[in-house]
Structure 1
């Protein structure tokens, strides 16, 4: 049981950034060693240890990217630098307490990332009066894309979500716009919005639609 250990069950990190996870032993005890493990496919793998006798010891493959520290008397943290998607896992802190044995807590790390939003305008000379707009972005979790004002749409947008091997999702969304509605509303531009836990991005899409001369 996680007796007398305080920790956050879930932690979020940004791809490429640094993340620090903590474990605090809340009951005074004689800590012999603190071990941090990464749990992958249900198998625990030791990644770092700290003892007052031997100090910090980092194990491969984290040798250059991990710091394992202790804050006296009984609090430990690890910092993972330049987080990759492979770092998404659960991490376990184990306090080896004399003479009671090992007590631990488990923190699960969720990695998030998002790309820039790309835009493509497609004029189809055969489809007179229509304009196609294609937006795409890559992220984890999948970014949400929306277009304003929605009155200009001819049909509901077509959305395609492609799962990438690294765990990110490529979102592609295609909108078909009526240029007649654009003219009747007197619109000079449309606004596209990408919503993601990391950022909310808005882009203005200028419409070079020939205005009818009155």
Structure 2
């Protein structure tokens, strides 16, 4: 890359200068041409003490020469948006071409207030995104910590020496045809202090 060119954004009615910078020192600039990156020329710079820059008559009312082989366009409008080419004819390295894209916006579109509000809006969205991500991470971490502190219950475990009776276990149920109707026996196991289970019988018929 032997030419450096920078794209330009401007507003309606402003003045812009288009310029390409040759990055080679050991060369001589013979002529610099400006056009719309086609055969439609705008201006010429001839590196001759007796010749000044030449601007074509069709653009002479708004285009003028600028230093360092550039051109200045005054009162730009939306129709000026597009590509502009600078063509350097040098010796002994030959020809180099640079391209500049000029983007002209209306004054209503390009306002400092609009860009300020847009920047503030993006900043607020970024802050909320960071806060939301941090909150989600904290909740997830807290949930994992809470679940790790829960001790699993051992099924059927009882303290040794507890006098709390075990669940009733129905060992047998009998049905007999008697005058007082049905009867059945329920045996409970009571855990004594020495750890042994002692059967306790509850009878609905007076038996056991």
Q: What is the TM-score of this pair, normalised by structure 2?
A: 0.49
Which structure has greater helix proportion? 2
Q: What is the TM-score of this pair, normalised by structure 1?
A: 0.48
Which structure has greater strand proportion? 1
